[in-house]
Amino acid sequence: MSKIEYTSLEGKSPAYFGLLGGLALIMLLALASVFYMEHEGHHVTGMTNQIVWGMPHVFAIFLIVAASGALNVASIASVFRKKIYEPMARLSALLAVALLAGGLVVLLLDLGRPDRLIIAMTYYNFKSIFAWNIILYTGFFGFVGAYLWTMMDHNVYRFKPYAGFFAFIWRLILTTGTGSIFGFLVARSAYDAALMAPMFIIMSFSFGLAIFLLVLMASYRWTNMELGDVVVNRLRNLLGVFVASVLYFTTVYHLTNLYATQHHGVEKFLLLEGGVFTNIFWVGEILIGGIIPLILIYAPGVKNSRNTLGLICTMIIIGGMSKIYTILIAGQAYPMELFPGYEVSSSFYDGVVNGYTPSLPEILLGLGGVAMTLFIVAFALKVLRFLPVSLADSVADPHSAK
């Protein structure tokens, strides 16, 4: 493979400025939502004392999980020395940082006291996995930032394998930390499972790669640069493995719960009687996010169709959001079992399934995080050289005919 040439976007077209403007508008709407929620108090959201984490957290956790996974391509190139992924490593690392930034901003702006960020950064309870996550997120910026530097500056290029290795290890720890936010919760029937950490890691692989593929295909289509089938189909096959793995972990999680009588209640709720949650699980998470993409990825008739691959990635993203929604919201909606063997009732909604309707400001805040991610990527592509001039088969494929 010859030396890779990189380029930046020209970024002078009305379409480019239209994109930035549209994303900025969404971010402004999100900011307005934050001011509204913080000024009025959280009672204007759909969140309550029963459903304490809502739509902002679904977006934030999705973006943070995807951030770690977006680094996949770079890791495979640097750590596992697969040459074909090498040209895309810069974009992969950029997207990872941007996704994490978008997710963290949503998480921060939903706090009851976002003005106390400095307290979150200076007071640490080291028994809290949340506190560890603050360190892991900050470290991720540092490690991936350093990794990007070694990729883009020839003076420090020799350190790239080390930077890539540490970034790889760090992202595994980071997603372990994110999954453990739920895995370490003993209080609620749907959580408290060691499987959460590895399941979140495999989720990150899937969601992150789906987003990476969409960004990659859009960048090359909109700039009329060449993106060959070899690269795309390699990523497509990898995506299939990840989607199947997420389905596998989901199956094991539910089978384990179904085996234990004490979890039959929550499983019946999630799989059969949870109303909207059950629908989101079967239709959103399993069908749209798992089975259909899996069939389409390996269907011979649409192998080289970019539009189909775009659809597959979009479905995986919808499925991913559905999965986080099911874990997060349905897990809180199911009543806590404080008194096994009793029917309970109270003024504080004991014994009943808690309802949740996301409010517009919450959704706008979440979309603001997505917009911020895309804004960072679009802007960075203009100011620095992240994109290979060509990813045609003859350039990217080490086995192509010379």
Partner 1 sequence: MTDSTKKSTIDSSRRDFLSKAAVAGTVTIAPGLLLHSTAQAASSGNISTRPHDEDVSNKNRWGLLIDTEKCATGCTDCVDACNEENGLVSHGRPETDAQYIRKVTLKEKSTGHESSLPLMCQHCETAPCADVCPTGASFVRADGIALVDKHICIGCRYCMMACPYKARSFVHEDVENQKLTAPRGKGTVESCTMCVTRIDNGGIPACVEACTAENHNAMIFGDLNNPNSDISIALKSRGGKQIRSDLALNTGVRYQGLNE
Residues that bind partner 1 (CB under 8 A): 38, 40-43, 48-50, 52-53, 111-114, 116-117, 119-120, 123-125, 127-131, 134, 181, 184-188, 332, 336, 338-339, 341-350
39 or 154: whose CB is closer to partner 1?
A: 39
Q: For residue 32, what are the CA distances in angstroms to 146, 240, 309, 364? A: 34, 39, 35, 9
53 or 59: whose CB is closer to partner 1?
A: 53
Residue 76 Cβ vs partner 1, minimum distance, rounded to whole Å: 33
299 or 338: whose CB is closer to partner 1?
A: 338
* Two tokens, residue 274: 């949870």
Residue 54 Cβ vs partner 1, minimum distance, rounded to whole Å: 10
Measured CA to CA, the distance from residue 316 to residue 290 in angstroms comes to 7
Residue 42 Cβ vs partner 1, minimum distance, rounded to whole Å: 5
123 or 261: whose CB is closer to partner 1?
A: 123
- DSSP letter at 191 equals -
190 or 396: whose CB is closer to partner 1?
A: 190
Measured CA to CA, the distance from residue 337 to residue 269 in angstroms comes to 13
Contacts of 113 (CB under 8 A, 6+ apart): none
Contact 396/228 with Cβ under 8 angstroms?
yes
Residue 73 Cβ vs partner 1, minimum distance, rounded to whole Å: 32
Residue 360 Cβ vs partner 1, minimum distance, rounded to whole Å: 17
Where on the phi/psi map is residue 47: left (φ > 0), alpha (ψ -120 to 50), or beta? beta
- Token pair 């979440």 is at which residue? 366
Residue 257 Cβ vs partner 1, minimum distance, rounded to whole Å: 17
Sign of CA dihedral 111, 115, 118, 119: negative
Q: Which residues, listed in sequence order, are joined to residue 361 by a DSSP beta bridge? A: none
Q: What are residue 391's phi and psi, to 5 degrees?
A: -120, 30
123 or 301: whose CB is closer to partner 1?
A: 123
251 or 345: whose CB is closer to partner 1?
A: 345
Residue 127 Cβ vs partner 1, minimum distance, rounded to whole Å: 5
Measured CA to CA, the distance from residue 291 to residue 99 in angstroms comes to 26
Measured CA to CA, the distance from residue 30 to residue 207 in angstroms comes to 23
